[in-house]
Amino acid sequence: RLRLAVDKALAANMTRDTIERAVKRGTGEGDDTNYDEIRYEGYGPAGTAIMVDCLTDNRNRTVSEVRHAFTKAGGNLGTDGSVAYMFARSGVLMYPPGSDEDAIMEAALEAGAEDVVNNDDGSIEVITSFEEFIAVKDAMSAANYQPETAEVVEKAANLIDVGLDDAEKIMRLIDTLEDLDDVQDVHTNADFSDEVMEQLSS
């Protein structure tokens, strides 16, 4: 699991020093602080499901900050398990537009991937089970198909289409949550159409 985090951080161009500091913080090395991994679940605008993964040395502070973010956005923090059942953990290897689609598909399926998805922009996603993620990633790299990014994500079983107004509120909530020091990852089942994303970025 630590290897996944380091791989993801390196792919995001974090320096090894930054990663080592984060690892020390996570393991409590160098001080007596204990950090806990906690997941909060709740509902955002338009009834969308949101999961928030945190690493904290103070649960009370973290739950207070996360609850405040939900409330401010018109959502509410739920109980454990209230939305987790709507998600499944998967591995995703991303290849940029222009990659050799047939070769990647053949190599991915041979490596044990569950699915290969061609996106509208020409990029390719190789989907794996959580358990097979590292094995598939290593097999693809060994076959000279190094992914642009590789990460474990929580994939929603069913996505909820949201309009522009709700999309703005949901994006604001996600941004607020991601800005919190203790938050590591935010997952949602909200689906933003290309049209909505264009309007959001304009």
Q: In angstroms, rounded to a whole number, what is the distance separating the alpha carbons of residues 143 and 123?
A: 19
Q: In angstroms, rounded to a whole number, what is the distance separating the alpha carbons of residues 38 and 53?
A: 6
When pLDDT is cut at 50, 70 and 90, the band that residue 18 belongs to is low
Tell me whether domains 2-85+158-201 and 88-156 share a fold: yes
Look at phi and psi of residue 150 and say left if phi exceeds 0, alpha if psi is from -120 to 50, else beta. beta
**Per-residue pLDDT reduced to its tens digit, 139-195:** 999 999 999 999 888 989 899 999 889 999 999 999 999 999 999 999 999 988 888
**Tokens for 106?**
């053949």
Is the pLDDT score of 17 beyond 60?
A: no
Please report, for the chain, the start and end positions of each structural domain, with discontinuous segments joined by +.
2-85+158-201, 88-156
Is the pLDDT score of 71 beyond 90?
A: yes
pLDDT of residue 120: 83
Q: In angstroms, rounded to a whole number, what is the distance separating the alpha carbons of residues 135 and 122?
A: 25
Fold of 88-156: Alpha-Beta Plaits (3.30.70)
pLDDT of residue 55: 92
Q: What is the CATH number of domain 2-85+158-201?
A: 3.30.70.980
User: Which pTM does this prediction carry?
Assistant: 0.72
**Per-residue pLDDT reduced to its tens digit, 81-111:** 999 999 999 999 999 999 999 999 999 999 9
pLDDT of residue 23: 63
